[in-house]
């Protein structure tokens, strides 16, 4: 685990309802998430975005939540149970190197990495793993906090994504954040 990984107790703070006043998950994710979709929340913490995602995909959709910290996934499951959404979420404890995800290859319609890429030690390796999971035409929203990540560092993240065969499809303007929406290039592109 990288030294600067968000401590588990921060999961409670990040999932606080007041955060919706500045980051409304439905407004942020609504343009990209369809009912019945299979979506990935990478680094969900305690699920500030996973629960709205589970709501948006509906009973025929699925949210795969990948985290490296068991306590984050426990907190997420507890919150999902209270919200009646637990069955739509697939909770997976991962070691960050993309193993045990073979069953998801080419199946992800939308992926989210919100405030977590800067915690990943091997970002190119991580991006290559996400690329394998994306369905044709799928999109990946990456957002990083301006209070931890400089513009220069985010530019480097975008450059790494380009080298991993992602192209920038949009640059949504989200408060306090550097954000890019990526689309994986196909083999023909
Ligand atoms: C700052 S929190 C953000 C949580 C959530 N996305 C949000 O915006 O509220 C970062 C989360 O990413 C997780 N994480 C860090 N590196 C990861 C990796 N390589 N794979 C999956 N999760 C990771 C951490 O354990 C933590 O739960």
Our mutation pick for probing the ligand 1 site, out of 13, 45, 123, counting the most ligand atoms within 8 A of Cβ, is 45
Ligand 1: residue whose CA is nearest its atom 27: 45
pLDDT attached to residue 189:
84
Q: Determine the atom of ligand 1 nearest the C-alpha atom of 112.
A: 6
Whole-model pTM: value is: 0.96
The span from the CA of 65 to the CA of 88, in Å, is 10
What domains appear along the chain, each with residue ranges and CATH number?
A: 10-184 (3.40.50.150)
When pLDDT is cut at 50, 70 and 90, the band that residue 188 belongs to is confident
Q: Distance, CA 14 to ligand 1 centroid (Å)?
A: 11
Inform me whether the pLDDT recorded for 34 exceeds 80: yes
Q: Smallest Cα–Cα separation from 92: which of 80, 82, 103, 101?
A: 101
pLDDT attached to residue 100:
75
Inform me whether the pLDDT recorded for 170 exceeds 70: yes
| pLDDT tens column, 59-90 | 999 999 999 999 999 999 999 999 999 999 99
Protein residues with CB under 6 Å of any ligand 1 atom: 5-6, 14, 42-45, 48-49, 66-69, 72, 94, 96, 114-116, 119-120, 126
Mean pLDDT of the chain: 95
The span from the CA of 126 to the CA of 144, in Å, is 15
Q: Distance, CA 92 to ligand 1 centroid (Å)?
A: 12
Q: Distance, CA 36 to ligand 1 centroid (Å)?
A: 24
Q: Do 80 and 89 form a contact (C-beta atoms < 8 A)?
A: yes
The span from the CA of 144 to the CA of 154, in Å, is 8
Inform me whether the pLDDT recorded for 1 exceeds 60: no
Q: Distance, CA 70 to ligand 1 centroid (Å)?
A: 11
Inform me whether the pLDDT recorded for 98 exceeds 70: no
CA 15 vs CA 44, 48, 75, 183: distances in Å = 10, 4, 10, 27
Q: Distance, CA 116 to ligand 1 centroid (Å)?
A: 5
């Amino acid at each position: 685990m990288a030294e600067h990984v968000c401590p588990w107790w921060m999961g409670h703070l990040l999932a606080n309802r007041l955060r919706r006043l500045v980051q409304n998950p439905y407004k942020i994710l609504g343009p990209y998430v369809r009912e019945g979709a299979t979506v990935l929340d990478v680094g969900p913490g305690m699920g500030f975005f996973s629960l709205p995602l589970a709501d948006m995909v509906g009973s025929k959709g699925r949210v795969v939540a990948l985290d490296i910290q068991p306590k984050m996934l426990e907190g997420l499951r507890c919150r999902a149970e209270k919200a009646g959404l637990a069955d739509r979420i697939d909770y997976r404890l991962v070691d960050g190197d993309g193993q045990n995800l073979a069953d998801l290859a080419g199946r992800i319609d939308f992926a989210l990495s919100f405030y977590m890429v800067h915690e990943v030690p091997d970002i190119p390796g991580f991006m290559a793993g996400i690329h394998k999971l994306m369905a044709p035409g799928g999109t990946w929203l990456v957002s990083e906090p301006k209070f931890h990540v400089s513009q220069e560092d985010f530019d480097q993240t975008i450059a790494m994504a380009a080298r991993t065969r992602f192209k920038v499809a949009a640059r949504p303007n989200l408060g306090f954040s550097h954000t890019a929406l990526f689309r994986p290039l196909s083999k023909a592109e």
